[in-house]
């Protein structure tokens, strides 16, 4: 089935988007919602979804359409890693690789630092990135610093809170 085409004009007829809060407010009544109500509904993955004309749209993609006048071709990256935060200042277009680089550390991480794990076969801390093994270090802090330097040099703005910050 082909993707539903939604115009900026139709979106602006149905909703007001507040780029400061990231909220969409209904401008018309529907069967299930009243004019003036906030349309942000979270899905199971933590993303805002908004139903329009029987189709479900991701809120961050609608924010782009509303503000810039086009539905983005690339993915939309939530800069701060909060999937429901659709403030315009928190959204940027990104390739799949860039978006993946901006992920929080994995839940299974035991070192406390993004990109750092224990290499039991070597007996040292390993600094690793999707692209490369950066090196092996005596302390996890040294590995985290090496990881952060690699990320800064190779990925620019697409990195979620560098590992040394011990993000949660």
What pLDDT shows up at residue 159?
A: 63
How many C-beta atoms lie closer than 10 Å to residue 137's C-beta? 19
Global pTM value:
0.70
Residue 41 φ/ψ, nearest 5 degrees? -115, 130
What pLDDT shows up at residue 4?
A: 67
What pLDDT shows up at residue 87?
A: 96
What pLDDT shows up at residue 160?
A: 55
Look up the CATH number of domain 105-165. Answer: 3.30.730.10
What pLDDT shows up at residue 3?
A: 55
Q: CATH 3.30.730.10 occupies which residues in the chain?
A: 105-165
Q: Which long-range contacts (CB under 8 A, 24 or more apart) does 20-27 make?
A: 20/87, 20/88, 21/87, 22/48, 22/59, 22/63, 22/85, 22/86, 22/87, 22/88, 22/90, 23/86, 24/48, 24/50, 24/59, 24/62, 24/66
What pLDDT shows up at residue 90?
A: 92
Pair of tokens at residue 133: 């093994």
What pLDDT shows up at residue 158?
A: 64
Q: CATH 3.90.75.20 occupies which residues in the chain?
A: 8-94
Look up the CATH number of domain 8-94. Answer: 3.90.75.20
3-state secondary structure of 148: helix
Q: Which residues of the chain have pLDDT under 70?
A: 1-4, 105, 155-168
Cα–Cα distance for residue pair 161/146, rounded to 1 Å = 14
């Amino acid at each position: 089935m082909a993707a539903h085409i939604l115009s900026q004009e139709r979106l602006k007829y149905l909703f007001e988007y507040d780029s400061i809060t990231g909220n969409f407010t209904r401008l018309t009544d529907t069967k299930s919602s009243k004019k003036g109500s906030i349309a942000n509904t979270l899905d199971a993955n933590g993303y805002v979804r908004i139903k329009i004309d029987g189709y479900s749209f991701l809120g961050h993609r609608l924010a782009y359409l509303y503000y810039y006048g086009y539905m983005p071709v690339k993915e939309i990256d939530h800069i701060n890693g909060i999937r429901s935060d659709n403030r315009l200042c928190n959204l940027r277009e990104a390739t799949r690789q860039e978006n993946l680089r901006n992920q929080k550390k994995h839940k299974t991480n035991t070192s406390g630092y993004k990109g750092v794990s224990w290499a039991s076969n070597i007996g040292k801390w390993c600094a690793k990135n999707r692209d490369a093994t950066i090196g092996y270090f005596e302390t996890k802090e040294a590995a985290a610093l090496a990881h952060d330097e690699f990320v800064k040099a190779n990925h620019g703005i697409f990195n979620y809170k560098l590992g040394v910050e011990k993000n949660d």
